[in-house]
Amino acid sequence: MNKSIIEATSDHHRGLLCETANLEATDYWLTADTATIFTVYGRILLLELYGEITENMAGAAQPNFAYVSTTPVIAKADICAVSASIAGLVTGNRVVWPGGTTGGTLVITGIAYDSPANAGVGFILGGVTAAGVNMIGGITADGSVADATDGNVRFTCVYAPMSTGAYVRPAV
């Protein structure tokens, strides 16, 4: 198969995919940090969400992910529970949103470039207003407990639109 067929088949099987830039963990996983990494337009089915370590981590941060809506305003709510310390993660490790329920713990098991994927059911995020306009919200990367003091990470979001014109874009 040529590359376009592989990509199209993957989109249909897995969902649409977008990635952030390669980010400094010290900008996103500070103790009291919350930063929007993906902008969500409309109603989506979230299928996969993970951060792939691209430079060894330092600092005992315990991150998680959350959803927040800006239009209309809906308070930020966690979509998983914080992981254990990421201090020992090395390049190729992933921090993986577990799906299922918001009580599921962010997964950091696995070895470099070999990790579990989302094992739970997907979440429906966002919505559509009474006027029929897609809500605008964001998926945030949140730190807790301690600051990340070194390391890089790139976040990936895989989704399917659930309202007309819904999509996700990296915010950073």
The contact set with other proteins (CB under 8 A) reads 7, 11-12, 15-22, 43, 45, 47, 67, 69, 72, 74-75, 77, 79, 100-102, 121-130, 132, 135, 137, 160-167, 169-170, 172
Q: What is the C-alpha to C-alpha distance for residues 114 and 94, in angstroms, rounded to an integer?
A: 8
User: Cβ of residue 146: shortest distance to other proteins, in angstroms?
Assistant: 27
Q: For 61, how many CA atoms within 13 A lie in the half-sphere containing its CB?
A: 25
- If the CB atoms of residues 55 and 147 are measured against other proteins, the closer one turns out to be 55
**What would you report as the CA-atom Rg of the chain, rounded to the nearest whole angstrom?**
16
Q: What is the C-alpha to C-alpha distance for residues 94 and 65, in angstroms, rounded to an integer?
A: 14
- If the CB atoms of residues 11 and 24 are measured against other proteins, the closer one turns out to be 11
User: Cβ of residue 6: shortest distance to other proteins, in angstroms?
Assistant: 13
- If the CB atoms of residues 84 and 172 are measured against other proteins, the closer one turns out to be 172
Contact between 84 and 148 (Cβ < 8 Å): no
Spell out the residues 6+ positions from residue 132 whose beta carbon is closer than 8 angstroms to its own. Answer: none
User: Cβ of residue 137: shortest distance to other proteins, in angstroms?
Assistant: 6
User: Cβ of residue 82: shortest distance to other proteins, in angstroms?
Assistant: 16
- If the CB atoms of residues 85 and 91 are measured against other proteins, the closer one turns out to be 91
Work out whether the CA dihedral 69, 57, 117, 3 comes out positive or negative: positive
Q: What is the C-alpha to C-alpha distance for residues 157 and 172, in angstroms, rounded to an integer?
A: 13
- If the CB atoms of residues 16 and 87 are measured against other proteins, the closer one turns out to be 16
Angle at 97 between CA 52 and CA 22, to 5 degrees: 25
User: Cβ of residue 78: shortest distance to other proteins, in angstroms?
Assistant: 9
